[in-house]
Amino acid sequence: MVLIDDASDRDDLIIRYLDGLLTADEFEQLAQMLRNDPEAARQFNDLMLTAQIVRGDCYEHQSPNVSPSAPRDPVVMPTSRRIRWGRLAQAAVLALAAAVWVIFVVSDPDSSSDTTGPQRAATLATLTNLQDATFVSQAPRLGDALTAGTIRLASGRAQIMFDSTAVVDLTGPCDFEIVGPNLGRLTVGSVEAYVPQRAVGFTLDLPKDARVVDLGTRYEVQVDPEGYAQVAVTEGRIQVKDSQTLNPLILQQGQTALLNWTSVSLEAFPYVAGITVNNSPNALIVKRPARAKVDKLRSGAGRAADRFVLTQVAPALEGLPTLALPRTGTIHQPAAGYSFTLAQPARVYLLVMNRGPHDLSGWTRTDEAAIWQTSDGKTYTDTIYYRDFDAGLVIVPPNLWHDDFDEYGISHLAVIQPRVLTSGQPLNVQQEN
């Protein structure tokens, strides 16, 4: 690593940092300089604030007890105004700003509160970025120190940096709780987490006693309103576990897991390209489980991938693209759920086997039905539910219902109707390779 010997080199490095032009080696040089040179760190902090003022993004947040020459909280530029910074660089920038904040705010004796007065709630994180963010209740402001509690984001994006330097990007609608300096809880919505080396072990709690423990990585978690969750690793590794699984699942880069909340609750599906309709250049589904079979809803099509045969379908849905998951496990186990990603808004119908009483929370039950047969001629009926989705993740819940003999139904069959299509319009379904 090349050391920085004079002020001009130092200034050039900081300016390149603000422009988003630093290489990985230069970033390490800058990080070392800020750790070892208090004056450089103060200058860096002032330049960050100045850059915000120039861009019109400055949020003035200064205690009346802090003198003008005292170190200020570092300010991170909103994503919408950044220039050329890659996503990994953005997270690294946050970690660097955190290091400066720890050195010159937390350790500054002048910034400590009067211990004889009322004790403040412990600060656990900082709001480091906002983009078109709307909050359900009182809105925090950019740069606010955050204590334990729930942040309810109605729309837009918000970025939180924990005191550990773990960073989470929230996408609304999202309910996210700050629990500890390296612990959060996602109740519903979407979170992308970046965890640098010093924050390894960052933990994200999910509904139904599930937990994601970081092993040094970047990952995404999405939880739907019913509490079903999908976890996808984009870099590194994570550990996923729930209350029903003795051995946690280790996910590597590129792997995705769906938490089904059943006796076989963690499944790591390989995901592949999706499907298009009518030779459209715009895909309908951009990602689906590799083992899910693509077909059209019609008499003679498979009800569970290559098993069982549909003999009667709802005329209004005939010809629409379908996804069918093969039956796994035994009849005495709940059938697995699955997920896929829509490239455009659509109404999704589910064919739910009538085995035991069922009620799909969040889905609307219709009067329509489908009939299918097994290879030995037994006939079964499906009730049809539907739900409207915007582009993005669709989680098909597991089949948790069983009859008096503890025999469970098969996985739900998904039927996808793009909003741009009218009911009954002929479709040509193509499976992408």
Name the token pair of 67. Answer: 């003198």
Same domain, 285 and 214: no
Same domain, 262 and 280: no
Instruction: Evaluate whether residue 418 is within a structural domain.
Output: yes
Distance CA 378, CA 376 (A): 6
Q: What is the pLDDT of residue 201?
A: 94
Same domain, 283 and 427: yes
Distance CA 255, CA 287 (A): 13
Q: Which residue has the higher pLDDT, 340 or 327?
A: 340
- pLDDT tens digit sequence for 164-211: 999 999 999 999 999 999 999 999 999 999 998 889 999 999 988 889
Most confident range (mean pLDDT) of 217-221, 258-262, 397-401 is 217-221
Same domain, 278 and 420: yes
Name the token pair of 297. Answer: 């809803």
Q: Which residue has the higher pLDDT, 84 or 306?
A: 306
Instruction: Evaluate whether residue 2 is within a structural domain.
Output: no
Distance CA 372, CA 137 (A): 49
Q: 317 pLDDT band (50/70/90 cuts)?
A: very high
Same domain, 291 and 320: yes
Q: What is the pLDDT of residue 50?
A: 52
pLDDT at 88 over 60: no
Distances (CA, A) of 8 to 20, 39, 96, 100, 290: 18, 14, 21, 21, 55
Q: 366 pLDDT band (50/70/90 cuts)?
A: very high
In the DSSP assignment, the letter for residue 399 is: B
Q: What is the pLDDT of residue 373?
A: 94
- 417-430 mean pLDDT: 58
H or E segment to which residue 292 belongs: none
Same domain, 29 and 139: no
pLDDT at 42 over 80: no
Mean pLDDT for the chain overall? 75
Per the structure, the complete domain to which residue 182 belongs is given by: 125-269
Q: What is the pLDDT of residue 269?
A: 58
The CATH number covering residue 161 comes to 2.60.120.1440
Region for 253 from its dihedrals, namely left if φ exceeds 0, alpha if ψ lies in -120 to 50, beta otherwise: beta
In the DSSP assignment, the letter for residue 311 is: E
Residue 80 neighbours by CB distance under 10 Å: 11
Same domain, 398 and 361: yes
DSSP state string for 169-234: EEEEEEEEEEEETTEEEEEEEEEEEEE-GGGTT-EEEETTTEEEEEEEEEEEEEE-TTS-EEEEEE
Q: Which residue has the higher pLDDT, 274 or 234?
A: 234
- pLDDT tens digit sequence for 234-243: 999 999 887 6
Decide which of 111, 138, 156 is a domain's last residue.
Answer: 111
Domain count, the chain: 3
Decide which of 68, 89, 111 is a domain's last residue.
Answer: 111
Instruction: Evaluate whether residue 59 is within a structural domain.
Output: yes
